[in-house]
Amino acid sequence: MNEAQVIALAGVFQSAALVRATATTGSQDAAALESSIASILRIDVDDAAGAFGGVARLRLGFETLVQQLDRNPADLAVSQIAVTVLRVERKLTGRPSMLATLREGIEALQRQVDHLGLTHASVLARLSELYANTLSNLRPRVVVQGNPLYLQQPAQVERIRATLLAGVRAAVLWRQLGGTQWQLLFKRSQLVMLARGLSSRARLDGG
């Protein structure tokens, strides 16, 4: 277990926390959302922190990771989303045609992002459509529960799907860096220790 792996895993948990917040409250941490969406577009970045724009941009992810793994969390739904995202990514590795479709869709979106910004409604809608046409067809599907008031709003559904796509992007990075689900079970204390240190650094770097 190393810091780069923890950074990538924090990306998965940041996405899960954002999805849960959107589904239950209809709002989310704007800076964390922008960081997670930005990571989707950095397809060929191997540096874990660089994929998210720096350690400070993953503060929510580190805090969520510690909260979910260090003690009995009040909200297990976040961990359930994160673990399912990791499983979806495992299935994705065996679907090269889907990987190619995702890459093409993300690359095609770059100009629109440059013009409108990362979290513009049109950008999130395109990412949502890409997720719906690809990853949502894999099993297990990510089940998102929450307040029907928000889950029935098309714009919120699009935001959730786009954020789940960011979670899968972080899961790809986690696997590329040697991360495994066994580490979540057997190296939990080491993972939490590293996440605490990175969380402190994120707070300092973030001001």
Residue ranges of domains in the chain: 3-206
Q: Cα–Cα distance between 133 and 129 in angstroms, integer?
A: 6
Q: Is 11 exposed, middle or buried (0-12, 13-18, 19+ CB in 10 A)?
A: buried
**Please, are residues 24 and 147 in contact by the beta-carbon 8 Å criterion?**
yes
Which is nearest to 80 in space by CA: 157, 1, 145? 145
- CA-to-CA distance for 169 and 164, rounded, in angstroms? 9
CB 93 within 8 A of CB 83: no
Helix (H) or strand (E) holding 6: helix 3-25
Q: 190: how many CB neighbours lie within 10 A of its CB?
A: 13
Q: Is the pTM of this model over 0.85?
A: yes
Interatomic CA distance for residues 28 and 136, integer angstroms: 22
Q: Which CATH superfamily is domain 3-206 in?
A: HflD-like (1.10.3890.10)
List the pLDDT tens digit at each of the 207 positions of the chain: 899 999 999 999 999 999 999 999 999 999 999 999 999 999 888 789 999 999 999 999 999 999 998 777 767 899 999 999 999 999 999 999 999 999 999 999 988 999 999 999 999 999 999 999 999 999 999 999 999 999 999 999 999 999 999 999 999 999 999 999 888 888 989 999 999 999 999 988 874
Virtual torsion, Cα 95, 168, 164, 18, nearest 10 deg: 170
